Amino acid sequence: MVYRPKPCIYCEQLFEPLSSRSKLCPSCKQRTCVVCGQNFTLRSVQRLIDGHANYCSPECYLKGRWGASHREERICPTCSRPFIVYRSDDTRFCSLACSVPHRAKERNRQIRLGCDWCGTLFYRAPSNRTGARVFCCHRCSALWWAEYGLHGKQHPRWRGGPIREKLFLVGWKAARRIVLERADGRCERCSIELNKPKVHHITPRRECNSAEEANEIGNLIALCSKCHAVAEKESR
Answer yes or no: do 97 and 119 share one domain.
no
1, part of any domain:
no
The range of the structural domain enclosing residue 171 comes to 165-234
Q: What is the DSSP string of 109-154?
A: TPEEEE-TTT--EEEE-GGG--SS---SSHHHHHHHHHHHS--GGG
Nearest to 24, CA basis, from 46, 7, 47, 5:
7
Determine the Cα–Cα distance for residues 84 and 93; give it in Å rounded to an integer.
Answer: 10
Task: Identify whether residues 170 and 229 lie together within a single domain.
Answer: yes
216: Cβ–Cβ under 8 A, 6 or more apart, which residues?
A: 175
> Do 18 and 59 fall within a single domain?
yes
Indicate whether 115 belongs to any domain.
Answer: yes
pTM: 0.35
- Parts of the chain with a pLDDT under 50: none
Q: What is the CATH number of the domain that holds 222?
A: 3.40.1800
Amino acid at the residue 96: L
Residue 154, Cβ density class (10 Å: 0-12 exposed, 13-18 middle, ≥19 buried): exposed
pLDDT by residue (tens digit) across 23-50?
A: 888 888 888 888 888 888 887 777 777 7
| pLDDT at position 1 | 64
Q: What is the pLDDT of residues 46-77, one digit of tens each?
A: 777 777 778 888 778 777 776 666 677 899 98
Give the sign of the dihedral formed by CA 151, CA 155, CA 161, CA 163: negative
The answer as to whether 157 is a domain residue is no
* pLDDT recorded at residue 117: 92
What pLDDT shows up at residue 165?
55
Dist CA 46 CA 59 (whole Å) = 18
Same domain, 135 and 175: no
Number of domains in the chain: 4
pLDDT at 69: 64
Residue 160 lies in a domain: no
Residue 116 lies in a domain: yes
